[in-house]
Amino acid sequence: MLKTLVKKQLFEVFKGYFYDAKRNKMRSKFVIAAWFVFFAVIMVGVLGGMFLALSLTLCGPLISCNAGWFYFVLMGTVAVLLGSFGSVYNSYTALYLSKDNDLLLSLPIPVRDIVGSRLINVYLLGVMYILTVTIPTEIVYFMQTGITGAKVLCGILFFFIISAIVMLISCAFGYVIAKISLRLKNKSFITAFVTLAAVAAYYFFYFKAGDFIRDLLVNATIYAENVRRYAYPLYLFGQIGEGNILWCFVFTVVFAGACFLLWRHMLKSFISIATASSKVEKVQYVEKTVKEKTPFEALIHKELLRFTSSPTYMLNCGLGIILMPAAGILLLFKGQVIIEAMERVFSDYPGSATAFLCTGLIFMGSMIDTAVPSVSLEGKSIWISHSLPVKPVQVLLSKMTLQIVLAAMPTLIAALCTSMIVDESFICKLLIVIMPMIFALFSAAIDTVIAVKAPLLNWTNEMAPIKQSGGAFLAIFSFWGLSILFAAVYMLAGFRFGIVMYLIAWSVLFAVLSILIIVWLCTKGAGIYSELA
């Protein structure tokens, strides 16, 4: 039974490789093999290659400084962070708040098998990430110092110790997150916020990594001595990699014992958390007057609730809501430096800096595309919209209006910040604000057309219409192409007429196209929507 449960857990992790949610059927053997080859290329080629380069950079200089143990401390820390980050979300969902808890607990399956299969699943996922670090680490170290039996044995146990640490951390964080999530009201916003914070932290450390490595290599002796003096257990941990048999077995015994205690704790706490229900507040009814909404306002409110109820929807179709104000504020501090650099490079093209900044506004504005999957997300329940006492045109315009409402304020903030830093005339500054606002209307209209013309109603996972549908790809690449076209036309011919005339021309074009598209939505588009089933 344990083997069957482990296979089930692994199938759930790699379900997208075996099952096509968009077409609601299993993939062919060739496609499954291709997906796993692609996965292997990413894990071995990309991640493994990146950590191989890092190992080659660190190993030689640290060994020459008699700090080989510090090399293993650094690479071991990287392996722990990567493994924990890669498996902590799985431990949260799989260990405690899995959707099949009630089903499995109702079957004649021992709790130890359920817990054991999920712990094995978390462990294997952590191992998958850890190997991309530890294998290059050991290979480079053996190349630098040679191979001995003690080093090979300690290298193998070094890997198992790190995998135990990762599992302990993943389970601990998963337990905390599970406890917290049971008390949260709106989990969608929390999930979206945590995801954005993780992405921001990743890019922050990515761009700072080069400076950190250079500083580390220059001051390797000082850092190693400080770690040895103030964090002696880390020094002993690094000694494992260099082949210290004694400390290798000490750490192995300690973490093996910790894993046994984790196992005992999981058996005791699993049922209480797995069967717990979310916190429900007792609300006392208070009579109050509710403002009556028009049918159109009610439709917009329905679309907004659908958007805010899904972290996947918010992160993939509303990223520009965060990026545009953030970019605008960044321009207030760094904008002059960016403008001066662009003006030096494109000195023969007057106004090019302003044109490129407007290109950025168009590009980020296109990242607010809530209307694209809005029709598809109705799925097999689209008949409900057809049965409501509202016209199809009202339904379509409500989807378009929500995107305009969500994009209006972020676009205005970013455009105002841009207009404040450019050294242009008042008319140009005004156009820098007006043109992106008209583009927000244009993009919402285009996205609604795509939603009607390329719906995906037969789906089993909302990821399919949001990220994997033909409409989503069409919207993304169309607006990318439009952004490139906006900048390219200016560099080829637009600069001859001046940035003011260029912005006026695009503003008029966006406005005229928006009117024509809205007219189409109110006539033919509404007819197409009414026939969807």
Tens of pLDDT, residue by residue over 517-528, are 999 999 999 999
| CA 112/CA 108 separation, integer angstroms | 12
Q: How confident is the model at residue 111 (pLDDT cuts 50, 70, 90)?
A: confident
Q: How confident is the model at residue 407 (pLDDT cuts 50, 70, 90)?
A: very high
The predicted-structure confidence for 354-395, as pLDDT tens digits, reads as follows 999 999 999 999 999 999 999 988 888 888 888 888 899 999
Tell which wins on pLDDT, 281 or 531: 531
| CA 176/CA 95 separation, integer angstroms | 12
pLDDT at residue 210 is higher than 90: no
Q: Are 447 and 475 contacting, i.e. CB atoms less than 8 angstroms apart?
A: yes
Look at 23-32, 244-253, 509-518, 521-530 and tell me which has the smallest mean pLDDT.
Answer: 23-32
**CA 239 and chain centroid, separation:** 37
Neighbours of 204 (CB within 10 A): 10
The predicted-structure confidence for 289-329, as pLDDT tens digits, reads as follows 777 788 888 899 999 988 988 888 888 888 889 989 999 99
Q: Are 162 and 130 contacting, i.e. CB atoms less than 8 angstroms apart?
A: yes
Residue 405 is predicted with a pLDDT of: 95
> For tokens 């009630």, what's the residue?
102
Tell which wins on pLDDT, 181 or 166: 166
| CA 75/CA 480 separation, integer angstroms | 39
Most confident region among 109-123, 179-193, 300-314, 431-445 by mean pLDDT: 431-445
Counting residues of the chain whose pLDDT is more than 90, the rounded percentage is: 30
Tokens of 65: 């400084």
φ and ψ at 50, to 5 degrees? -65, -45
Report how far apart, in Å, the C-alpha atoms of 94 and of each of 35, 80, 171, 309, 396 are: 23, 20, 10, 22, 39
Q: Are 19 and 127 contacting, i.e. CB atoms less than 8 angstroms apart?
A: no
207 CB burial (10 A radius; 0-12, 13-18, 19+): exposed
The predicted-structure confidence for 451-488, as pLDDT tens digits, reads as follows 999 888 887 777 778 887 888 889 988 999 999 999 99
pLDDT at residue 510 is higher than 80: yes
Neighbours of 519 (CB within 10 A): 12
Residue 266 is predicted with a pLDDT of: 77
| CA 509/CA 502 separation, integer angstroms | 11
pLDDT at residue 129 is higher than 90: no
Residue 39 is predicted with a pLDDT of: 83
Please choose, from the candidates 367, 376, 392, 391, the residue with its C-alpha nearest in 3D space to the C-alpha of residue 306: 376
| CA 233/CA 228 separation, integer angstroms | 8
Q: Are 398 and 388 contacting, i.e. CB atoms less than 8 angstroms apart?
A: no
The DSSP string of 298-329 is: HHHHHHHHHHHT-HHHHHHHBHHHHHHHHHHH
| CA 528/CA 519 separation, integer angstroms | 14
| CA 270/CA 114 separation, integer angstroms | 10
Average pLDDT, the chain: 84
Tokens of 46: 């990309």
320 CB burial (10 A radius; 0-12, 13-18, 19+): buried
Q: Which letter does DSSP use for residue 95 in this model?
A: I
Report how far apart, in Å, the C-alpha atoms of 192 and of each of 84, 92, 319, 526 are: 19, 16, 10, 33
In the chain, domain spans: 2-274, 303-530
| CA 56/CA 50 separation, integer angstroms | 10
Residue 190 is predicted with a pLDDT of: 64
Question: Residue 20 pairs with which residues in a beta bridge?
Answer: 25
The alpha carbons of the chain give a radius of gyration, in whole angstroms, of 28
The predicted-structure confidence for 15-40, as pLDDT tens digits, reads as follows 777 877 666 678 888 888 888 888 88
The predicted-structure confidence for 164-176, as pLDDT tens digits, reads as follows 998 888 888 777 7
Q: How confident is the model at residue 278 (pLDDT cuts 50, 70, 90)?
A: low
pLDDT at residue 287 is higher than 80: no
| CA 514/CA 51 separation, integer angstroms | 49
